[in-house]
Amino acid sequence: MTRTRYSTVAILLHWAIAALLVWNVLLGWQAEELKGAAKIAVMQLHKPLGITIMLLTLIRIAWRFVTPPPALSGHLKPWERHLARAVHILFYVLLIAIPFTGWAAVSASALIKVYPIDMFGLFDWPIIQPLYDLPAELRHDRHELIEDIHKLLAKVVIYGLIPLHVLGALKHQFLDKDNELAKMIPFLARKEPAA
Ligand code: HEM
Ligand code: HEM
């Protein structure tokens, strides 16, 4: 049978990742404005949340192989299909690359031993040892460089992918009035007009 919507697991993962992503962006912005203990408190939540997003994204990709998603609708114009597919792939790549660069940046910092990536009191996420072992000055340079890459990649998602993706979804719902959004929010499904 051809699927008309995403599987329940894929839908739950989509909305969990979306919500955690928005939350973590807000925490990242907040951290930029703070100093001292207040900043550390925010970062101690930003880091494990980011790692969780990375793990959920890996599960989402694995799930995609087990339960393939529904095909993009046949009525989409070729440029819409290419854009939608490119945005989906870039989301997956960046939702791994962003947390990974965050993880690498904090691994290249002496402070990681004092403020580890504490996974909600369950265990400490490991550090990337070769980065921590660099000579102090080089380690500091690497920390700055990788953190800049982290922030740049986050901007690509915040100002590029999310607006394109959400505007695309809303365009289909309100202008094209097709069933695209219902694939991710099943109760929105419209009845097909009788033939
Ligand atoms: C999907 C996951 C993540 C997202 C969307 C994200 C997003 C952000 C954003 C928006 C900022 C502020 C950038 C700016 O104002 O230009 C930031 C800063 C930062 N993030 Fe992340 N981040 C994620 C995961 C992580 C992880 C897993 C770590 C470390 C384990 C991390 C470490 C950092 C650090 C060290 C900063 C700089 C804070 C500062 O010194 O001001 N991030 N992140
Ligand atoms: C902000 C964080 C979000 C992220 C990271 C995200 C990511 C993704 C990804 C990667 C896919 C492709 C799934 C696959 O085929 O494997 C997807 C599909 C979809 N998303 Fe999102 N999404 C987000 C927010 C939203 C929002 C706010 C909406 C609705 C307004 C939405 C509506 C949809 C729809 C309708 C699809 C199915 C597209 C289709 O197959 O035709 N997403 N999303």
Nearest atom of ligand 1 to the alpha carbon of 100: 27
Spatial distance between the Cα atoms of 174 and 6, rounded to a whole number of angstroms: 20
Best of 151, 152, 153, 162 for a ligand 1 pocket test (most atoms within 8 Å of beta carbon): 151
Contact 188, 6 (CB under 8 A): no
pLDDT given for residue 192 in this prediction? 56
Cα(175) to centroid of ligand 1, in Å? 35
Among protein residues, the one with the nearest Cα to ligand 2's atom 30 is 166
Cβ–ligand 1 contact at 171 (below 6 Å): no
Taking the C-alpha atoms of 28, 34, 35 and 36 in order, what is their torsion angle to the nearest 10 degrees? -80
Contact 108, 142 (CB under 8 A): yes
Cβ–ligand 2 contact at 184 (below 6 Å): yes
Best of 32, 150, 151 for a ligand 1 pocket test (most atoms within 8 Å of beta carbon): 150
Burial label for 46, CB within 10 Å (0-12, 13-18, 19+), is buried
Q: Which domains does the chain have, with CATH numbers?
A: 8-186 (1.20.950)
pLDDT given for residue 109 in this prediction? 97
Per residue in 132-167, pLDDT (tens digit) is: 999 999 999 999 999 999 999 999 999 999 999 999
pLDDT given for residue 178 in this prediction? 83
